[in-house]
Amino acid sequence: MSALLFAQATSNSWDLPANIAFGIISVIAIGAALRMVTTDNVVHSALYLLVVLAAVAAVYILLGAEFVAATQVLVYIGAILVLLLFGVMLTKAKLGADEDLNYEQRWIGLGVSVLLLVVMTFSIWEEYGTKEEAKLVGYEPQRTQVVADSIFSTYIVPFEAVSVLLLAALIGAVVVARRD
């Protein structure tokens, strides 16, 4: 692996430190993801998810997408994961191994992940496999203005659709939570 990276670094404009960092982050992310589904404690599982999400944020920073990385930390770690841990600790959060956990859906889960892996690998390889610009080059940070412009021009329809969906979910949550 490292020999391959060094060879790449000498042969063309690949950026060595970024590739090494990417390798380390990927190993951490994959390891934590595996432990997340195999561990026998719900809170441990949530904390391994934290590691996975943090690693994804690190990959975004590596790609120069700082705004997206900060969003990842704010939304996924700061909000969703905290709510998840909060819920787990309010209801049931055993210390030590939890025998009640079931793994009945593991084969379906495995099937779905393999399918996702194949589809994504295929589509990414089709699009970028032979192109130069797909390689990790430079650390030119992506300007926030560019992100904002593309959200509010190119992707305005999906953005509005998601907003309406979230609003509907919010109202739905209020309706469900109301007692009267």
Partner 1 sequence: MLAFELGWAEWLVRTVAVLGVVLLPAGATVYLYLFKMVSFMQSRLGPMEAGPYGSMQLLAEVGKNLQKEDILPAKADRTIFNLAPYVVLSSTFLLALVVPFGPEAGFASLDTGSFSDRNFDGVGAFYAMAVSSISVIGILMAGWASASKYSLMGGVRAAGQLIAYELPLILAIVGVVIQAGSLSLQGIVYAQYEGEIFGFGAIGNPFIITQFVGFIIFMIAVQAELTQVPFDMPIAESELVSGYMTEYSGFRFLMFFIGEFATANIFAFLASVFFLGGWTVPPFIVDLLGITIDSNWFNLIGPAVMLTKMLLLTFIIYWVRFTYPRFREDQLQKFAWKVLIPISLVNIAITGFLKVAF
- Give the residue among 43, 38, 35, 36 at the shortest CA–CA distance from 92: 43
Count of positions on this chain that bind partner 1 (CB under 8 A): 29
- From the CB of 79, what's the least distance to partner 1, in Å? 7
CB closer to partner 1 out of 123 and 150: 150
Query: Residues 98 to 127: which contact partner 1 by CB under 8 A?
Result: none
- From the CB of 170, what's the least distance to partner 1, in Å? 13
d(CA 123, CA 84): 32
CB closer to partner 1 out of 108 and 174: 174
Task: Confirm or reject binding of residue 97 to partner 1 (CB under 8 A).
Answer: no
CB 21 within 8 A of CB 55: no
- From the CB of 77, what's the least distance to partner 1, in Å? 6
Q: Give the interface segment with partner 1, choosing from 73-81, 115-123, 126-134, 161-169 (CB under 8 A).
A: 73-81
CB 62 within 8 A of CB 21: yes
Task: Confirm or reject binding of residue 8 to partner 1 (CB under 8 A).
Answer: no
CB 32 within 8 A of CB 48: yes
Task: Confirm or reject binding of residue 141 to partner 1 (CB under 8 A).
Answer: yes
CB closer to partner 1 out of 36 and 77: 77
The runs of H, that is alpha helices, within the chain are 2-11, 16-38, 42-62, 66-72, 82-91, 106-128, 144-152, 156-177
Q: Give the interface segment with partner 1, choosing from 25-33, 108-116, 138-146, 166-174 (CB under 8 A).
A: 138-146
Q: Could you say which of 30, 34, 79, 165 contacts partner 1 (CB under 8 A)? A: 79
d(CA 100, CA 84): 19
Q: Could you say which of 103, 125, 128, 139 contacts partner 1 (CB under 8 A)? A: 139
In our burial notation (b when 16+ CB lie closer than 10 A, e otherwise), range 112-131 reads: eeeeeeeeeeeeeeeeeeee
